Structure 1
């Protein structure tokens, strides 16, 4: 594995041939190494990636994993994964050889991140820690599936950082009425929060809404896109899942609310976003006005849970709740809200009793 010294640049470089995934033989040249050893290591790692070899550096495997995710997942999902890997995983494992990382190494890493504090100065939550561990396990699963790694060491190590606590925060209609009464009806945020509570749409779906998405004649809102900030830039993407593209029917009072809001806008364009405040602005307003109303604090996303709770209280089925929220399946709805559906076991017993007696 020869490397060469460039007298002009005073740096080392490597040049070699390899066969890519299509079977084509190609030449690769890489310059700018301070040491001969660095050039040789780079060539060795590059060839390991091309030859489906789990002996490459972890940083290279993570790069391949992220390339795959960039091709096959939504941009926001890719960016989230990239941020977690770069911040919490690569600093520990980047220079280690993938097939040399053991379950003991994983457990030692888990011990360190459990004692790490986030940007707010507080320990990382069990839910967030679980997300990081899942991300690391995903990289090793990728190596097992596509690069011949014998076993995922995360599976052997287990999860010592804790798990997400399944809790659901929501407001009743009485709670929401107290909250919304702290706004002037002419306030943009009044209309935004009315929509979030009475439709269950996601905040990104609200931020992406345009005039073209509103059909007042049919009394519906077309949800067909969502708004994100990715790498500091605003991005409009398709909704979270295929089922998230949906039509939400709305009552007359919400139509009137929207018409009043639009009437106060200056020459609104069909394709311009109607609600252009940032997520942090909505979160800040929610916190401030919740305090004014004397209510328990919830997140903006919890207004979506509040809508689901309202529908369940009104007696609607899990299927209808699922369709309105744009869940991928009814099982998703039941996984989140099953405990809110009233038990009808006694009703079943009564009907079986009557059926039996009628037969006799």
Structure 2
């Protein structure tokens, strides 16, 4: 593996020929390595990836997997998955041949994850552990599908971490009323929190709303984009799911509140944002005003759960809740909120009893 030292900069570089997937011979040059071994490692991984062999190193396959993820997934999803793989998966398996990683290796890795601690010094949460295991499995699935790996060892090992734990906390209508009563009605956050609670939209969807998305005559809000802050830059993307593109009908009191809020914004156009604060002020205001109201703490995202809980309490179906929240399918809604739907077992038994009695068996 030829590597060379750049006498001007003191760094190392590699320069070599390879054959691409179409059979063309090409030259590759890569500069800027501090150490010679770094240049050699980079060349080895590059050639492994070009060959596309299942005996390439795990780290080389992860690079291919993340390149594909970056091309096909949302930037926010890509960044999250990349961070977890680089922190908890790649350092463990490193340069081990992909097809040399066994189900036993996966089980040992999972056991170590259970005792791992995060930056806060605490054990990783069940939900976070579940995500790590699923992302490791996704790398092997990618290798099976596109690079000839015989099987995914994660499937054989199983998930020894445990099911993903969904945290569903919420405020009742009475509790939210206590919370919102601590705001001045002219405060933009008063309007913002009303919208979050009575529509169930995500905070990113709220932050991306423009004047064009609100139709006060029809009493609707159109959700067609979401706001992200990635590496200090504002990124606007489509909603989380395809069905996240939706139009929500809102009550007249919310229309009046929005009308007052919009009239306070001078020189607005159709592209003007309804709310201009970053996410952190929402977190600060929520913490401050829940304390003023004497309420137990919930997350900002739990206002979305609170809306779902309100709809279920009012007797609406899982399908309606799913459509309003923009879930991809009803099963997602039931997976999160099934325990909130009232049991109809007694009602079923009573109706069957009446049917039996009417038939006079």
Question: TM-score under structure 1 normalisation?
Answer: 0.91
Residues 94 and 232 from structure 1, CA distance in 2 versus in 1: closer, same or farther, beyond 3 angstroms?
Answer: farther
Alignment partner, residue 159 of structure 1: 159
Shift of 1:12: 5.8
SS in 1 for 2:315: coil
Alignment partner, residue 25 of structure 1: 24
Give the whole-Å Cα distance in 2 for the aligned partners of 1:63 and 1:190. 45
Residues 7 and 71 from structure 1, CA distance in 2 versus in 1: closer, same or farther, beyond 3 angstroms?
Answer: closer
Alignment partner, residue 227 of structure 1: 227
Aligned residues of 2:106 and 2:154 also touching (Cα < 8 A): yes
Give the whole-Å Cα distance in 2 for the aligned partners of 1:326 and 1:345. 29
5 Å matches for 1:131-280? 131-280=131-280
Residues 230 and 7 from structure 1, CA distance in 2 versus in 1: closer, same or farther, beyond 3 angstroms?
Answer: closer
SS in 1 for 2:185: coil
Shift of 1:48: 2.4
Give the whole-Å Cα distance in 2 for the aligned partners of 1:34 and 1:252. 64
Residues 160 and 217 from structure 1, CA distance in 2 versus in 1: closer, same or farther, beyond 3 angstroms?
Answer: same
Shift of 1:173: 0.3
Alignment partner, residue 3 of structure 1: 2
Alignment partner, residue 314 of structure 1: 314
Give the whole-Å Cα distance in 2 for the aligned partners of 1:296 and 1:7. 62
Aligned residues of 1:58 and 1:93 also touching (Cα < 8 A): yes
Shift of 1:257: 0.8
Aligned residues of 1:14 and 1:39 also touching (Cα < 8 A): no
Give the whole-Å Cα distance in 1 for the aligned partners of 2:55 and 2:78. 25
Gaps of 5+ in 2: none
Shift of 1:278: 1.9
Aligned residues of 2:3 and 2:40 also touching (Cα < 8 A): no
Deviations 1:190-228 (A, max 9, x none): 111100110111111100001000001100001111111
Residues 266 and 136 from structure 1, CA distance in 2 versus in 1: closer, same or farther, beyond 3 angstroms?
Answer: same
SS in 2 for 1:27: strand
Give the whole-Å Cα distance in 2 for the aligned partners of 1:35 and 1:283. 45
Residues 63 and 5 from structure 1, CA distance in 2 versus in 1: closer, same or farther, beyond 3 angstroms?
Answer: closer
- Higher mean alpha-carbon deviation, 202-211 vs 81-90, is at 81-90
Shift of 1:76: 1.6
CA RMSD of aligned residues (A): 2.3
Residues 39 and 173 from structure 1, CA distance in 2 versus in 1: closer, same or farther, beyond 3 angstroms?
Answer: closer
Aligned residues of 1:14 and 1:40 also touching (Cα < 8 A): no
Give the whole-Å Cα distance in 1 for the aligned partners of 2:44 and 2:18. 12
Shift of 1:161: 3.6
SS in 2 for 1:310: helix
Aligned residues of 2:14 and 2:43 also touching (Cα < 8 A): no
Residues 191 and 12 from structure 1, CA distance in 2 versus in 1: closer, same or farther, beyond 3 angstroms?
Answer: closer
Shift of 1:61: 0.6
SS in 2 for 1:277: coil
Give the whole-Å Cα distance in 2 for the aligned partners of 1:265 and 1:120. 41
Shift of 1:79: 1.5
SS in 2 for 1:280: helix
Residues 30 and 57 from structure 1, CA distance in 2 versus in 1: closer, same or farther, beyond 3 angstroms?
Answer: farther
- Higher mean alpha-carbon deviation, 339-348 vs 318-327, is at 339-348
Give the whole-Å Cα distance in 2 for the aligned partners of 1:290 and 1:36. 57
Residues 12 and 269 from structure 1, CA distance in 2 versus in 1: closer, same or farther, beyond 3 angstroms?
Answer: closer
Give the whole-Å Cα distance in 2 for the aligned partners of 1:5 and 1:348. 79
- Higher mean alpha-carbon deviation, 119-128 vs 230-239, is at 119-128
Residues 30 and 304 from structure 1, CA distance in 2 versus in 1: closer, same or farther, beyond 3 angstroms?
Answer: same
Aligned residues of 1:3 and 1:36 also touching (Cα < 8 A): no
SS in 2 for 1:150: coil
Gaps of 5+ in 1: none
Shift of 1:37: 6.5
Shift of 1:166: 3.5
